[in-house]
Amino acid sequence: MSELSPQARAALADFLDILRAEAGLAGNTLEAYERDLRGFLEQMATAGLTRPGAVTAAAIVDWLERRRAAGRAEASVARELVAVRMFFRTLVREGDLERDPTLLLATPQLARILPHTLTVAEVEALLSACQGHAPLSQRDHALIALLYASGARVSEAVGLTTQGLEHELRVVRLYGKGSKMRLVPLGERARDALSRWMTDGRARLLVGRKAEHVFLSRRLEPLSRVDAWRRVKLAARKAGVQADVSPHTLRHSFASHLVEGGADLRAVQEMLGHASIRTTEVYTHLDAEHIAGVHRLYHPRG
């Protein structure tokens, strides 16, 4: 077996993070997905296909045939194929790949997992839960405000540098997949939270020292993805939000609330950094569910 490339490891980690946030799967189920996908990606690497984007439909068919020839039970092969298809479907949805190599393969029909989103009231509770004068409270409040106000991926938020901030904080410069830059406007409340952190809490934490990254740990190191996840989850617990909340949940909430409010889908696509409008169209399904829910609640024959 070949070692996974950095690209394959990152893609696998992102996929598992998204599954954890959106589907609420049990730990043993996530472990099974990781085991199946790691084995698949190692087989692809052995065949010289070290990046997920290099994997072809023909390579997947060859892998399936080798699994069957090795005596693997058909049910197990089907389960592994489900994991592979979900993996590539998610990469396309997130804008990491332009094409899904499993698209034309005969695979079990998968139920569509729509992204979980928070209500506006839950977002407000989340932001209120991390307010405070302490530097790290200001940091957490600014981080969550930024994630919700801009739809930034967690990697984009923790990678944000002071050079990515416009002087009046009306826009934020985010660097997405493939180092593609996009400008996303910030609302007044997000600007206030970010300004408070930059001029007060962050300044007190640095005590005259300099740092390139916007969000810093207690040790003045750039905040890691894992730390960002932990801070968001801690705020959710403090707020009493029952849903499994992650930075990705805030990204989805940003997009779905914009669509519900009547935002143009292509504008939402630009702000999210999606390569294809098809990736963004999932939020029209969420909006349709919201409208149907309103109808059921208020229509006399709902």
3-state secondary structure (DSSP) of residue 131: coil
At which residue do the structure tokens 């540098």 appear?
161
Which own/partner contact pairs does 116-121 have at CB distance under 8 Å and 24+ positions apart? 116/21, 116/22, 116/24, 116/243, 116/244, 116/249, 116/252, 117/249, 117/252, 117/253, 117/256, 117/257, 117/286, 118/241, 118/243, 118/245, 118/249, 118/250, 118/253, 120/257
Residue 90: both structure tokens together: 């998610």
Q: How much is the pLDDT for 22?
A: 65
In the prediction, which pLDDT does 32 show?
A: 83
Q: How many CB atoms lie within 10 A of CB 203?
A: 13
How much is the pLDDT for 23? Answer: 61
Average pLDDT, 10 consecutive residues per value, the chain (302 residues): 81 85 67 89 91 92 88 80 89 87 67 72 94 95 96 93 89 83 91 96 93 95 93 94 88 89 84 80 64 53 51
pLDDT, position 128:
94
pLDDT in the model for residue 114: 60
| 172, β-bridge pairs | 165, 184
pLDDT for 191 equals 94
CB-based contact 84:40 (threshold 8 Å): yes
Show the domains of the chain with their CATH numbers: 6-93 (1.10.150), 120-293 (1.10.443.10)
Share of the chain above pLDDT 70, in %: 87
The residues carrying an active-site annotation are: 153, 177, 248, 251, 274, 283
**Residue 195 has what pLDDT?**
96
100 exposed, middle or buried (CB, 10 Å; 0-12, 13-18, 19+)? middle
**Tens digits of residue pLDDT in 12-45:** 988 888 877 766 566 777 888 899 999 999 999 9
CA distance 195 to 96: 32
Residue 199 CA neighbour count, 13 Å, CB half: 9
* pLDDT tens digit sequence for 65-93: 888 888 887 777 888 888 898 899 989 88
